[in-house]
Amino acid sequence: MEGASYQRFPKVKIRELRDDYAKFELHDTDVSMANALRRVMIAEVPTIAIDLVEIEVNSSVLNDEFIAHRLGLIPLTSERAMSMRFSRDCDACDGDGQCEFCSVEFHLRAKCHSDQTLDVSSKDLYSSDHTVVPVDFSDSAAAAGEALDTKGIIIVKLRRGQELRLRAIARKGIGKDHAKWSPAATVTFMYEPSIHINEDLMETLTLEEKTSWVESSPTKVFELDPVTHQVLVVDPEAYTYDDEVIKKAEAMGKAGLVDITAKEDSFIFTVESTGAIKASQLILNAIDILKQKLDAVRLSDDTVEADDQFGELGAHMRGG
């Protein structure tokens, strides 16, 4: 009964890797798989985000729901998310906080006592779980050579006498539910282009023609060698599949000057994380989630059984 396998054996090559950024090549698979991974990274890899806010005092200029919304959007370190439970199916609690399996509690207390405006930021949120805290961007800023900003993400500004006091519950969730749970800032992939210049035809062009053809590309894909006057492909991946150089060649009466095709089984991915989880972990989690999803859509035994009976009944009716 077991049929032949049509499994593929994809290959990868990492180009760049930082905590919040990854660029890699994916080979020997097809778009459906590349796209499924992209979609899962954006909408189905879980993180933790503030989902319930109880405001005790708010005399700031922003209203309660405005602040609650801003709190929800603060990325929280979510390495724990994959092993946490969703509140909606947590057996240990009714899903409204103080349960270590499905939620993390935060407190915020701030009051301005001076004439200097007080910035209330993500740094003022106190977590009940030291593994789930607002993302600290100072390390990545320092690594990128930017000014060290240790102020965190601003929630609201207070003037003298104004106060904000609240309790917040963070829960596990996915981007499909609300974008605040999406661990991905951007995930994109492109087909790896294969660009071939027809050298014989190219040599029939004058220097001016070559220059204007090279310049017809909106992105810097080609270059004219100043010494040999040869047209070179310097950056195939800069090509945006805009067809401009092809149209230009046709307009010059040199159709077929360049041949550009997309390799159907090779993709270049860029993954940017919000900081909730590392980019590398985001990719690996997406694979796990996709595997779980596939497992969930397997046929259940009773469905198979019901069909077997249907088959017998059908045979009985046909054969008499």
Partner 1 sequence: MNVPDRYERFVVPEGAKKVSYERDTKIMNAATFIVEREDHTIGNIIRMQLHRDDNVLFAAYQLPHPLKYRILVRIQTASQSSPMQAYNQAINDLDKELDVLKYELEGAFSRFSRSY
Under the binding rule (CB under 5 A), the answer on residue 93 touching Zn ion is yes
Under the binding rule (CB under 8 A), the answer on residue 6 touching partner 1 is yes
For residue 134, which of 155, 117, 118, 119 has the smallest C-alpha distance? 155
Tell me how far apart the alpha carbons of residues 63 and 180 are, in angstroms, rounded to a whole number. Answer: 19
Measured from the CB atom, the residue of 251 and 306 that comes closer to partner 1 is: 306
Under the binding rule (CB under 8 A), the answer on residue 309 touching partner 1 is no
Backbone angles phi, psi at 34, to 5 degrees: -60, -45
Residue 236 interacting partner from partner 1, Zn ion, none (CB closer than 5 to 8 Å by kind): none
Measured from the CB atom, the residue of 40 and 52 that comes closer to partner 1 is: 40
Measured from the CB atom, the residue of 8 and 229 that comes closer to partner 1 is: 8
Measured from the CB atom, the residue of 117 and 303 that comes closer to partner 1 is: 303
Under the binding rule (CB under 8 A), the answer on residue 144 touching partner 1 is no
**How far apart, in Å, do the first and last CA atoms of the chain sit?**
26
Rounded to a whole number, what is the largest CA-CA distance in the chain?
Answer: 94
Residue from the set 61, 223, 225, 310 that interacts with partner 1 by CB under 8 A? 310
Under the binding rule (CB under 8 A), the answer on residue 176 touching partner 1 is yes
Residue from the set 144, 148, 299, 317 that interacts with partner 1 by CB under 8 A? 299
Residue 256 interacting partner from partner 1, Zn ion, none (CB closer than 5 to 8 Å by kind): none
What is the closest distance, in whole angstroms, from the C-beta atom of residue 58 to partner 1 in the complex? 25
- Say if CB 258 and CB 249 are below 8 A apart: yes
Residue 155 interacting partner from Zn ion, partner 1, none (CB closer than 5 to 8 Å by kind): none
Under the binding rule (CB under 5 A), the answer on residue 90 touching Zn ion is yes
- Give the Å distances, CA to CA, from 188 to 128, 232, 286: 35, 27, 14
- Say if CB 112 and CB 144 are below 8 A apart: no
Strand order in the sheet with 103-111: 47-58, 163-173, 103-111, 126-127
Measured from the CB atom, the residue of 210 and 278 that comes closer to partner 1 is: 278
Measured from the CB atom, the residue of 39 and 167 that comes closer to partner 1 is: 39
| Binding-site string for partner 1 from residue 10 to residue 49, where x marks contact by CB under 8 A and - marks none | xxxxx--x------x----xxxxx-xx--xx---x-----
- Say if CB 163 and CB 59 are below 8 A apart: yes
Is residue 251 classed as helix, strand or coil in its secondary structure? helix
Tell me how far apart the alpha carbons of residues 206 and 240 are, in angstroms, rounded to a whole number. Answer: 26
Residue 117 interacting partner from partner 1, Zn ion, none (CB closer than 5 to 8 Å by kind): none
| Binding-site string for partner 1 from residue 66 to residue 105, where x marks contact by CB under 8 A and - marks none | ----------------------x-----------------
Under the binding rule (CB under 8 A), the answer on residue 7 touching partner 1 is yes
* CA within 13 Å, CB half, 285: 28
Axis-axis angle for helices 279-296, 31-43 (nearest 10): 110
- Which positions touch Zn ion (CB under 5 A)? 90, 92-93, 99, 101-102
